[in-house]
Amino acid sequence: MSSRRDFLKKSSLLGLAGIASNLVSNNQLNTLENIGEVTNQSNQAFKLPPLPYAFDALEPFIDKQTMEIHYTKHHQAYVDKLNATPSTNIDYQSTDQIKCTHIDNTTTSVIRNNLGGHYNHSLFWTLLMPNPEGKPNTPSGKLAAVINTSFTNFDEFKKQFSEKAATHFGSGWCWLVYQKGKIVIETTVNQDNPLMRLNLKNPLEPTKYPILALDVWEHAYYLKYQNKRKDYIENFWKIVNWQQAEKLFLEVEKL
């Protein structure tokens, strides 16, 4: 696909060069060729988002080596695979969140897995924040009130979320999602997420919007915690970015 685009692009430039050969200088023609090269280099539908903190910023709860590998190897791999995949019917001009809502059981696994991996991680990074001293970290504002209403209190919510994350079999994610006036905890396998329209009993079911996410793939914690997923989950609560979760909640509540 990319070689065909390159051929067409260069053919267009050569055609233009032939027409303009008596009108423009060689330097100007070289400039046209350079423009074509820059266009080709930037023709990437998906990009790795900037990490909002240094690799060691989440210490001592997530170690530097894990963050660096997780971000530069695992997340980058999802982005690279998406960009190497031939075009599909996905609207590449839409947000990654909207793209995920177009994923269903007929979507190819390469798009489903890698788009999910890219979106999930992009969201996950923003929902973490440095807290090196391990200071108390709880939600506030409207999200805190809704959590208290839905789960009795924050401790009960934390307990239920932690249990679901800890007992999820194999690789996947644990989520707090908003769906049409209520918040619920759920898990997904592999790189699936609640936005995707998978295995729906009712095709008109309202979209589920993530407002909190936890990666429970082993690559997210194994270097530091080995098989102690519960310890990883317990320390996750110390670095949750509740301000970002509140922002996400307020945005989707309006939809």
pLDDT digits 0-9 by tens, 70-128:
999 999 999 999 999 986 767 778 999 999 999 999 999 999 999 999 999 999 999 99
Show me where the domains of the chain are located: 2-40, 64-253
For the chain, what is the mean pLDDT? 86
DSSP 8-state code for residue 184:
E
CATH annotation of 64-253: 3.55.40.20
Residue 20: predicted pLDDT: 38
Q: Which residues contact residue 208 at a Cβ distance below 8 angstroms, ignoring those fewer than 6 apart?
A: 177, 178, 179, 184, 186, 194, 195
DSSP 8-state code for residue 171:
S
